[in-house]
Structure 1
Amino acid sequence: LKAAMQIDWMDVKEMTQAIPPAYTEYIGKYLMDQIKYDYDN
């Protein structure tokens, strides 16, 4: 599970509260696309 979430430095308790880096990257890319779209329109 730690490898799948790309957060192998955390313990189980910390993992229950974590946002996986891959998901954060996905949301960040979507947010940047939306900001660029809003700026251009």
Structure 2
Amino acid sequence: SVHGGGHVLAQPDYRFPRILGKSDPELDAPAEIWRFFSQLPR
């Protein structure tokens, strides 16, 4: 989780409505999730 983050998956190409909370435009959550799982052994 991201301390102080909102309730969305941060994506640099999409801005969510403010009501959903803060979103870090520097973080690409889908890319980070893919990077994490792609490093696991199959």
TM range (shorter): 0.3 to 0.5
Give the structure with the larger helix fraction.
Answer: 1
- Scaled by the length of structure 2, the TM-score of the pair is 0.41
Greater relative CO (CA pairs within 8 A, separation 6+): 2
